[in-house]
Structure 1
């Protein structure tokens, strides 16, 4: 997928380390990996993304130096790295050469509540659609079961539609064959 220009994987509860294979996405202009549970270091290979204009790994549990002194990455500010207490180096104020305590990532006020609210909203929306589909489908089936003339009308209409499609496909195929013969 070297053609990919935007990759937003934020708020997906991803865990593990950031794969170095992301550096193969040479056309990438925006990379957002924020609000996940990513650990480890930021891969140096990401410096190969010369078109990168937006970058965020905020609110994970990353450690080690940022890519802040590398080309392209020196344009990103603290917000790209915030919420990773074990990251150090520019643009962060924490130096990589001092002893620092290992802390758990902190989320801004209400971030966890916001995630919970989003997942509840999604469940309500999905449940509503599922309920609507089930009620509509079985309601329609019940009407067809009890209304014999509607059932026959529907089946006749579907049969006629199928015949019409069949005739059009046959005519189209004949037209193509005639055009090939003429050439």
Structure 2
């Protein structure tokens, strides 16, 4: 498997496209054109210091990067998301600070991530697969917060906008429905009541006929009651 020594130590670039590096008293040389073949870098527990080289973001074919248990400082390179096929990333037990770059959440192939025991801070990017990793892989970063770690102070104080909006919309719908029912009943009463009363007021013949009908109905009920009472007494 191809292996490369990135620029942690002293290095020089030659005009012929080769780069040489001083590593543990020995000089290594490689052709930069072969960098696309690189699949694995493991420099764990080597006492490395300084920042993570930005050139790592150019290693588009890299699948595993392990820089754990060193003394690296600075921040996680913002362009780390360009390493699109990275499957494993271990930066634990260093002195890295600042926030987790949002571009890291764009590496959809990432199956293993360990950022524990650094000095990272801020909120873990929400709505990404970064929240699916175990909380232990973020432990030891006192400034980190958000799922899967405890909520950030701002999230605890801020009410859930989704729930509040949902409740407000539901209340508005109920209130609107009740308004429509009240208006409909009001118009129904007005048109029904005044439609009948108005007709009686303006049409004298209809008014006389209506009261005659009421008298006839009253007489019918009276006769029926008298007949029923008479039969009940005879029985």
TM-score scaled by structure 1? 0.51
Question: Structure 1: how far apart are the matches of 2:96 and 2:118?
Answer: 5
One of 71, 93, 104 as aligned partner of 1:46: 104
Q: Which has the higher strand share?
A: 2
Q: Would you say how many aligned residue pairs link Structure 1 and Structure 2?
A: 98
Which residue of the partner structure matches residue 69 of structure 2?
A: 11
Query: Gapped runs of 5+ residues in structure 1?
Result: 100-183
Are the aligned partners of 2:132 and 2:148 in contact in 1 as well (CA < 8 Å)?
no
Which residue of the partner structure matches residue 145 of structure 2?
A: 88
Question: Structure 2: how far apart are the matches of 1:2 and 1:96?
Answer: 37
Asked if residue 22 in structure 1 is aligned to residue 109 in structure 2, the reply is no
RMSD: 1.6
Asked if residue 65 in structure 1 is aligned to residue 129 in structure 2, the reply is no
Question: Structure 2: how far apart are the matches of 1:25 and 1:13?
Answer: 23
Q: After the TM superposition, which parts of structure 1 deviate over 6 Å for at least 4 consecutive aligned residues?
A: none
TM-score scaled by structure 2? 0.40
Which residue of the partner structure matches residue 34 of structure 1?
A: 92
Query: Gapped runs of 5+ residues in structure 2?
Result: 1-58, 157-235
Residues 36-82 of structure 1: CA deviation (Å, up to 9, x unaligned) = 00010000011110100001110000110013x33321320111100
The alpha-carbon distance between structure 1 residues 18 and 52, as it changes in their structure 2 partners (threshold 3 A), is same
Residues 109-148 of structure 1: CA deviation (Å, up to 9, x unaligned) = xxxxxxxxxxxxxxxxxxxxxxxxxxxxxxxxxxxxxxxx
Distance apart, 1:22 and its partner CA: 1.2
Asked if residue 55 in structure 1 is aligned to residue 122 in structure 2, the reply is no
Question: Structure 1: how far apart are the matches of 2:98 and 2:62?
Answer: 25
- Greater RCO, 1 or 2 (C-alpha within 8 Å, sep 6+): 1
Distance apart, 1:96 and its partner CA: 4.0
Question: Structure 2: how far apart are the matches of 1:8 and 1:81?
Answer: 16
User: Secondary structure of the residue that 1:31 maps to in structure 2?
Assistant: strand
